[in-house]
Amino acid sequence: MMALTGLFLITFLIVHAGINAMIFFNDGGETFAHWAHFMGTNLIIRTMELVLVAGFVVHIVDALLITKHNKAARPVQYAYSNPNANSTWYSRSMGLLGTIILLFLIIHAAHFWIPNRYNQFTTGEELNLFTRMQDTFSHWYVVVIYVAGCFSLFWHLMQGFKTAFQTLGINHPKYNPLIKNVGIAFSVIISVLFASMPISMFFNLVH
């Protein structure tokens, strides 16, 4: 379930990053607003939004259950351990990275998603998300939080992308290098693209 929901959440990242990248057209957010309107009103997208929330919930709850199970599997800890000798720090820190991402996600949803949907329910009007982005990202500490969120997302994806395939049984000498390299490229592109949005808005590069 971790792998399946993880890959599903990865597809969401592609759509989310793609549409947000429309701000880089530098047309005062016109193209972005067009797509944001589509995402905010299309029935299929709005249905998928519920599936997405369910995807997050399953991913998080399953992670908590597995963590509890795995902690119980070693009641007495080693007095001295050298885990860096056999595994990467981020492969062992998926729970920590995921928690940071979740905290970021709550802040992020409070900035955009929740107020926008609230406004739609109460007044039927969508908010101007472009100007809202400009306002939100005019504060340096918000930019720092967002970049930190992207940093955690990068390391989470570096481990999560390739190992989702392993868990689903996809491990083949012919395709392993492809999965590994696409995973690295995906992690870099998604994280850098997302991080560049608050940064470029803060420095008024997007208008």
Q: How far is CA 205 from CA 4, 21, 134, in A?
A: 38, 13, 11
Question: 198 with 135: CB under 8 angstroms?
Answer: no
Residue closer to other proteins (CB basis): 74 or 123: 74
Which 126-165 residues touch other proteins, going by CB under 8 A?
Answer: 159, 163
How many residues belong to the site for other proteins (CB under 8 A)? 30
Q: Which of 127, 151, 146, 128 is nearest to 201 (CA)?
A: 146
Q: Taking the complex as a whole, how short is the minimal distance between the CB of residue 76 and other proteins, in angstroms? A: 6
Q: Where are the alpha helices (DSSP H) in the chain?
A: 2-20, 30-41, 43-72, 89-92, 94-108, 114-123, 129-136, 140-167, 176-202
Residue closer to other proteins (CB basis): 49 or 62: 62
181 binds other proteins (CB under 8 A): no
169 binds other proteins (CB under 8 A): yes
- Backbone conformation region of residue 124, classed left if phi is above 0, alpha if psi is from -120 to 50, else beta: left
Q: Taking the complex as a whole, how short is the minimal distance between the CB of residue 72 and other proteins, in angstroms? A: 7
Count other C-beta atoms under 10 Å from residue 114's C-beta.
12
Which 5-64 residues touch other proteins, going by CB under 8 A?
Answer: none
Q: Taking the complex as a whole, how short is the minimal distance between the CB of residue 149 and other proteins, in angstroms? A: 22
**Burial environment of residue 35 by CB neighbours within 10 A (0 to 12, 13 to 18, 19 or more):** middle
174 binds other proteins (CB under 8 A): no
Site string for other proteins, 62-101 (x = CB under 8 A): ----x--xx-xxxxxxxxxxxx-xxxx--xx-x-------
Residue closer to other proteins (CB basis): 43 or 73: 73
Q: Taking the complex as a whole, how short is the minimal distance between the CB of residue 165 and other proteins, in angstroms? A: 8
Task: Kindly list the residues in this chain that would bind other proteins in the complex (CB under 8 A).
Answer: 66, 69-70, 72-83, 85-88, 91-92, 94, 159, 163, 166-171
